[in-house]
Amino acid sequence: MADGEWAGPLRDEAHEAEQLSRVEHFRGHVWSVASDEVRLPGGTIAVRDVVVHPGAVGVAAIDEDDRILLIRQFRHPVGGYLLELPAGLRDVPGEPPLETARRELAEEAGLTATEWHVLVDFFNSPGGSTEAFRCYLARGLARLPGGRPQTGEAEEADLPQAWVPLDDAVEAVLAGHLHNPTTVAGVLAAAAARDRGWRTLRAPDGPMWALSRSDAAPPFTG
């Protein structure tokens, strides 16, 4: 079988497979797990296991000294403390992703920002999950008058902060010292945007194709 050569535009393209059935195996507090029978492009019928996820946002908060904020948080599934960008699930129905980002920056870092732009959009695990992610750049930072609100619990009860020069954060990513995908993507995207004079930044409320499947992924009802 010859794979051929792609000569089309350098961009991803939305294309939904025909879904023939869905069997839901698990429904949790945040996501569910299902097996979809689909007709793939080309006509092949296959069963694909899917984690149905609401999506999430993250914030690369950079101050006037070119330092990026990282918070230290315990992550049980991987067994360790990770240095991460402030981030959170899109778990409030109808809330625009920018508002989710504002809320997470306040709740996890006690900060507000006057300047917001989109840095990068990505899928966390497109082979098996609908989770789509948007990382924002936040500048013009200011502390909330009362500090970080005590909205967190469990892993979010204590979130030590580290203000790191952006170039040092890039070195830490490339050295394999930082592993959270939001942090890796956000740090590298922020450095790339800065080195291009910030000309690649996108409007904070612009369309996010990567969110479409997460937003439109209710349990199959056919």
> How is residue 24 written in tokens?
């839901």
How far are the Cα atoms of 44, 72, 177, 198 from residue 69, in angstroms, in the given order? 47, 10, 16, 18
According to DSSP, the β-strands at 132-143 and 56-61 are parallel
Point out the catalytic residue in the list 24, 37, 99, 156: 156
For residue 108, give the H/E element and its range: helix 97-109
Q: Say whether 18 is catalytic.
A: no
- Residue of 178, 80, 182, 208 lying closest to 125 (CA atoms): 182
- b/e sequence 178-209, b meaning 16+ C-beta within 10 Å: bebbbbbbbbbbbbebbeeeeeebbebeeebe
Question: Which positions are catalytic?
Answer: 156
